[in-house]
Amino acid sequence: MIIILIGLGVYSLYGYLRLETPPVEEKIDIGPTQPAFVASSPGVGPDEILIGSSLALGGHASFLGTQYFHGAMCLIRKINDEGGIHNRKIKVIAYDDGYDPPRCVANTNRLIHKDKVFCLFCYVGTPTTVKIIDIVEENKIPLLGIFSGADKLRFPFRHYIFNIRSSYYQETNAAVRYFVKEKGLRRIAVFYQYDDYGFDGLKGTQIALQKYYLAPVATGNFIRGTLDIEEALDKIRASQAQAVIMIGTYSPCAKFIKEARARGYNPLFHNVSFVGADKLVEELGDAGEGVLITQVVPPPTERILLPACKQYSRQLARYYPDDKPNFVSLEGFINARILIEALRRTGRDVTREGFIKALESIREHYVGIGTAISFGPSDHQGIDDVYFTEVRNGKIQLLYK
């Protein structure tokens, strides 16, 4: 069963959803209930397990939130249609935070204290998610599957937080290595969002450049949720940077690139995975040719070679026929694979600590993307791979892994 509650905004993911104030849920019949049951952990019932999510389902980053959620939910809905995990359906409550940290904090508190979810899953964004770290640790609730590569979510080690994707430090390190070693460039600038996300990418770039005794020749920033990129563009253009590493969302990054090209400034542009590659390419149009994007999952078009991409494309078409395969929702799909595997390993007697131990038991686990996912008692990052892609003729093509 799936419940989606979208703040006070009107947003519908499914035909059966009805929104009011406060939101009213409509339920899918999941059959007869089990006999009297005593919960072993919050959010665990006789025939369902309750999962909570806060992500951008509306606003300027809505493509990221909706696609991440759809990717995860197309697999969860399939599993529910087949009877669930250990005879329990996965019931999801998702709140829209609009990529706004205070709303994410409020949503998370509501999920934990009012909805009493078992775990948190499918969060989107660095500025939002880093603000709930203390809440997660104080309430001893697992958080799995975050669309963020932030260092704060990885170090120091956090018992309750599991990152599946590679970090921004790993992405920016790959970009710097490519520019310096492969292209022989020395003048590299950084365009970044002025918040925890941008600061993390900026720091990762600085650390990577230091390995080559370099530093950014210029930095320029913009405020989250705006398209005010002109000052940053003027500053970076004046530096004559040969390459620009970009830490932002799709619309401001697209505007920066288009305006730069319109002014005759054509350095190499690189974006990290959070940009939302498919939406970026859509907004760039012809200006996207040659733009580089690091990814943390393979191209979803690799469905002939990679089983997960084939399975993902099939389930996405089944449950969200209006969606096109993309990097963001594929990552959500992979996250759901890990969530479901951990619940399977936890067994029928579900506890939060048992779930954490089940996650930590996942080692060299292949989910069909050509690389294994591994966790451990002191290692809560599942994947370290970075995929380098380039926009060619309006398509995102894999350069190398």
Residue 395 lies in a domain: no
pLDDT, mean of residues 122-134? 99
pTM, 2 dp: 0.89
Task: Please check whether residues 154 and 176 belong to one and the same domain.
Answer: no
Say if residues 272 and 247 touch (Cβ distance below 8 Å): yes
Helices (runs of H) and strands (runs of E) counted in the chain: 12, 15
Say if residues 261 and 268 touch (Cβ distance below 8 Å): no
Residues 6+ apart with CB under 8 A from 20: none
- pLDDT exceeding 70 applies to what percent of the chain? 90
- Backbone region of residue 256 per phi and psi (left: phi > 0; alpha: psi in -120 to 50; beta: other values): alpha
pLDDT, mean of residues 126-149? 98
Find where tokens 């970026």 sit.
280
Task: Please check whether residues 146 and 273 belong to one and the same domain.
Answer: no
Helix ranges (H only) for 41-158 are: 62-81, 101-113, 126-129, 133-139
Confidence of residue 35 (pLDDT cuts 50, 70, 90): very low
Task: Please check whether residues 14 and 143 belong to one and the same domain.
Answer: yes
Task: Please check whether residues 135 and 220 belong to one and the same domain.
Answer: no
Q: Where are the beta strands (DSSP E) in 169-295?
A: 188-193, 219-222, 243-247, 268-271, 292-295
Tell me how many domains the chain contains.
2
Task: Please check whether residues 63 and 156 belong to one and the same domain.
Answer: yes
According to DSSP, residue 381 is labeled B
Task: Please check whether residues 173 and 160 belong to one and the same domain.
Answer: no
Question: Does position 346 have pLDDT exceeding 80, yes or no?
Answer: yes
CATH number for the domain that contains residue 196: 3.40.50.2300
Task: Please check whether residues 48 and 154 belong to one and the same domain.
Answer: yes
Task: Please check whether residues 113 and 158 belong to one and the same domain.
Answer: yes
Question: Does position 6 have pLDDT exceeding 50, yes or no?
Answer: no
Residue 386 lies in a domain: no
Confidence of residue 400 (pLDDT cuts 50, 70, 90): confident
Residue 251 lies in a domain: yes
Q: How are the residues of the chain apportioned to helix, strand and coil, as percentages rounded to the nearest 5?
A: 40, 20, 40
DSSP 19-46: --SS---------PPPSS---SSTTB-S
Structure token digits, residue 49: 């397990």
The rounded distance, in Å, linking the Cα atoms of 271 and 64 is 15
At residue 379, the pLDDT reads: 98
* 272-322 pLDDT per residue, tens: 999 999 999 999 999 999 999 999 999 998 766 689 999 999 999 999 999
Mean pLDDT rounded to a whole number for the chain: 91
Can you give the residue range of the structural domain that contains 188?
168-295
At residue 128, the pLDDT reads: 99
At residue 301, the pLDDT reads: 84
Say if residues 88 and 48 touch (Cβ distance below 8 Å): yes
At residue 306, the pLDDT reads: 87
Confidence of residue 27 (pLDDT cuts 50, 70, 90): very low
The rounded distance, in Å, linking the Cα atoms of 333 and 316 is 9
Q: 7-16, 318-327, 337-346: lowest mean pLDDT where?
A: 7-16
Question: Does position 17 have pLDDT exceeding 70, yes or no?
Answer: no
At residue 13, the pLDDT reads: 37
At residue 260, the pLDDT reads: 99
Task: Please check whether residues 61 and 137 belong to one and the same domain.
Answer: yes
Find where tokens 């992500």 sit.
55
Residue 387 lies in a domain: no
Question: Does position 360 have pLDDT exceeding 60, yes or no?
Answer: yes
At residue 40, the pLDDT reads: 74
Task: Please check whether residues 237 and 364 belong to one and the same domain.
Answer: no
Confidence of residue 232 (pLDDT cuts 50, 70, 90): very high
The rounded distance, in Å, linking the Cα atoms of 200 and 28 is 42
